[in-house]
Structure 1
Amino acid sequence: IGSISALQAAVDEPALFDGVFIVNPNFREAHEAEQPDLLRPLTVPLLNAVQGGLRKYGQPVFDALANPSTVKTILKEPYADAEQVTDELVDVLLTPLLSPGAADVVFDTLSYSAGPLPEPLLEDQRLQAAVQICFGEADPWTPPARVRALERFRSVRSVVGLPGVGHCPHDEAPELVNPMIVDFVRSLNVEAKAAA
């Protein structure tokens, strides 16, 4: 979601952005554009019905699942290294889940079927910012071939896969991700100085 927000902002306000660093882009498999043409007329109404049902009847299920044990179990799926799923991480994620309105946000996120996707944003001619992408190659939720295919867009400088890292590289392997971010920002600064 952060990658989509950052790309959309860079498309909407190109003068404000020199670069966008994306960590594990989100492709939102529930998006209507991701559905086969034959099923598309059915999937959007179905997703809308699911979203409505979750909003109307899902709170008890959400309340039952929004606990440390369940959150920890869910996090162990996308994290390649289960040791990284600490009590502190669970608390950081669980605390906002317990705030009023959080269930609706989660339901909307799980069933959101519209809005921008990475590819159309990356091919938008208004996007002038350089883009660098890294992703965890062991992420079960992000298709590696699709991430690597983003390298075909003119704004994308590179796509770097991180072996043995899951869905949250910034958390699982900050020793790999943080230097990449610093190098990217430095390269943008050097380019800005050279252009001045």
Structure 2
Amino acid sequence: MKSRTWFRRIGLALLATLGLLLALAVPVAYAWEAPASEYRSQYLTRVESRFAETDLARFHYTVQGSGSPVVLMAGGALWGYSWRDVVPELAREHTVYAVDLPSQGYTELHREDFAYDLPAMADALAAFLDAVGLERTALAGHSWGGAWSLYFAEQHPERVTRLALLDAPGLDAEKAPITPVFRTPLLGELATKLTDRAFFADSVRGTFAHRELVTEEMIDEGYAPFSRPANRDGFLALWRNLDYRRTDAGLARVTAPTLVLWGGADSWLPPTQAGRLAARIPGATATVLPGCGHTVHEDCPAATIPLLRDFLR
């Protein structure tokens, strides 16, 4: 009897502790706003930074070069800075736009009912292209940016001249290992709100095989826009709303020549997805770069950039 009473008391104490933790966690997850970084981008002082005003959003983008257009889209929690090594090389032959879509960089939404799913992101890309006068263009997207590019190419094949997908989810297949965290109510809110600069830095390093390449500037440039409340909220919504069954179902509709690039050391999405994705897209080719991580164009620019340059040419 004594041991039964003891276990009951322990159980009640654990329940009380759990209740207290939940009571403390809920305000943090749903009411508290994490402070935004005060860092001011140095990168934007070195490039031509512009805004395109539309009914949907005030799109931030950079533009460089002249020639046939190429539009670049960064991955989740990243922005145009991610393409800093790629843009100057492609700009030798192209007019290169690096756009921040909703939840990224310095773009500001005008609509509170934005859905943060694949159709909404494709609509956002269409709004940007219309705003800058691009009826047809080549697209290159990394990670989530690749998924948005792919879905746009499926829905609007007449507007895409070439398509480059870098470590991009497009199959209804394996997800990033951290996906359940962000898709779980309360836990996802806490993970997003409590991501400080140090945790953000660890996350970025986890997408690199060559972690020594992740500099303090890279962390500051990435964390500053991510720390904005609207971008945090959009980031979490995308984790929960991006449904790759949509892209998977439409792969045969892609008509643009397509290059699939993947880091062979990608710990977020299995490199085996590269060949499987390319096999489902008419005429697509896949290249896996050994020893390169998920953010392949930043981790291995010397290998990635020539492949992109030759493909887009």
> TM-score, length-normalised on structure 2?
0.47
Structure 1 stretch displaced more, 168-177 or 5-14: 5-14
| Matched residue, 1:146 | 273
Give the direction of change, closer, same or farther, for the CA distance of 1:162–1:48 in structure 2 (3 Å limit).
closer
Residues 98-140 of structure 1, C-alpha deviations (whole Å, 9 max, x = no match): 213222122223333535554323223xx21111011100011
For the pair 1:26 / 2:169, whether they are aligned, the reply is: yes
The correspondence of residues 104-183 of structure 1 with structure 2, limited to 5 A, is: 104-112=233-241, 114=243, 116-124=245-253, 127-183=254-310
Which residue, out of 217, 221, 233, partners 1:92?
221
Q: Report if the CA contact (8 A) 1:138-1:163 is conserved.
A: yes
* Separation (CA, whole Å) in 1 of partners of 2:293 and 2:265: 5
Q: Which has the higher contact order (CA 8 A, sep 6+)?
A: 1
Residues 42-89 of structure 1, C-alpha deviations (whole Å, 9 max, x = no match): xxxx999834x357xx36x5443222x222222222211111211111
* Separation (CA, whole Å) in 1 of partners of 2:249 and 2:265: 25
Q: Report if the CA contact (8 A) 1:7-1:121 is conserved.
A: no
Bigger Rg, structure 1 or 2: 2
* Separation (CA, whole Å) in 1 of partners of 2:153 and 2:237: 24
Please give the secondary structure, in 1, of the residue aligned with 2:285: strand
* Separation (CA, whole Å) in 1 of partners of 2:153 and 2:183: 33
Cα deviation for residue 155 of structure 1 reads 2.3
Instruction: Structure 1 unaligned segments of length 5 or more: list them.
Output: 36-45, 187-196
More strand by share: 2
Q: Percent identity?
A: 21
| Matched residue, 2:211 | 82
* Separation (CA, whole Å) in 2 of partners of 1:7 and 1:94: 26
| Matched residue, 1:7 | 150
> TM-score, length-normalised on structure 1?
0.72
Q: Report if the CA contact (8 A) 2:163-2:259 is conserved.
A: yes
Matched residue type, 2:263: G
Matched residue type, 1:77: G
Q: Report if the CA contact (8 A) 2:278-2:286 is conserved.
A: yes
Structure 1 stretch displaced more, 75-84 or 19-28: 19-28
* Separation (CA, whole Å) in 1 of partners of 2:305 and 2:146: 16
* Separation (CA, whole Å) in 2 of partners of 1:142 and 1:70: 20
Instruction: Structure 2 unaligned segments of length 5 or more: list them.
Output: 1-143, 175-179
For the pair 1:65 / 2:195, whether they are aligned, the reply is: yes
Please give the secondary structure, in 1, of the residue aligned with 2:194: helix
Give the direction of change, closer, same or farther, for the CA distance of 1:105–1:184 in structure 2 (3 Å limit).
same
Residues 150-187 of structure 1, C-alpha deviations (whole Å, 9 max, x = no match): 2323524310000110011111111111111111112x
Matched residue type, 1:123: A
| Matched residue, 1:50 | 184
RMSD, aligned α-carbons: 2.7
Give the direction of change, closer, same or farther, for the CA distance of 1:164–1:34 in structure 2 (3 Å limit).
closer
Q: Report if the CA contact (8 A) 2:192-2:236 is conserved.
A: no
Number of aligned residue pairs: give it. Answer: 165
| Matched residue, 2:140 | none
